[in-house]
Amino acid sequence: MHYTDLFASPLGEILLVSDGEALCGLYFAGQKYSPALSDAKEEADLPVFRSALAWLERYFAGEKPETDLPLRAAGTDFQRAVWDLLKEIPYGATVTYGELAEKLAVRRGRPCSARAVGAAVGRNPISVIVPCHRVLGADGALTGYAGGLARKRALLQIEGAAP
């Protein structure tokens, strides 16, 4: 069973998804790869939603919130390894897809393509909190963001990292 709640952010409505204990999804309205949640029940009073909403309020107020939320993203082993790397990108910093691929290759002990990393980054189900918006193209350009490039730019501006 999944539970949902909504947050009215300055960048549009955000759908929060939980399994009742952990945050499993955070999607902007109209975001690519949003899940079909036919079995979901609206439940605003879950502790994880209260914590996530407080985190989002601090973030959009320009503060650097601590990421101590329980997160449970469903994906392949490769995707979860990439998403773990995303969590290591400091607030206000950016990296390239190639840099992530190199770091993952070292950890896994085998080559990794920037394209494969990019595909996994694009499927990140917990936007903003797992900061896929901090990943740029090889030349530092804004590229790909499931929530749209305007939102990616705005998120980076909030963090003082706009390219």
Neighbours of 108 (CB within 10 A): 12
Residue 72 lies in a domain: no
At residue 67, the pLDDT reads 76
pTM of the model: 0.92
Residue 123 contacts residue 162 (beta carbons within 8 Å): no
* pLDDT, tens only, 70-107: 999 999 999 999 999 999 999 999 999 999 999 999 99
Range of the domain at 46: 3-60
pLDDT band of 33, cuts 50, 70, 90: confident
The tens digit of pLDDT for each residue in 52-70 reads: 999 999 999 999 998 789 9
If asked whether residues 93 and 153 sit together in one domain, one would say yes
Q: Which of 129, 132, 154, 158 is catalytic?
A: 132
Residue 158 DSSP label: H
pLDDT of residue 163: 65
Compute and round to an integer the Cα radius of gyration of the chain: 15
Indicate if 132 belongs to the active site. Answer: yes
Same domain, 83 and 39: no
The CA distance from 42 to 26, in Å, is: 14
β-bridge partners, 13? 8
Whether 81 and 139 map to the same domain: the answer is yes
> Is residue 110 domain-resident?
yes
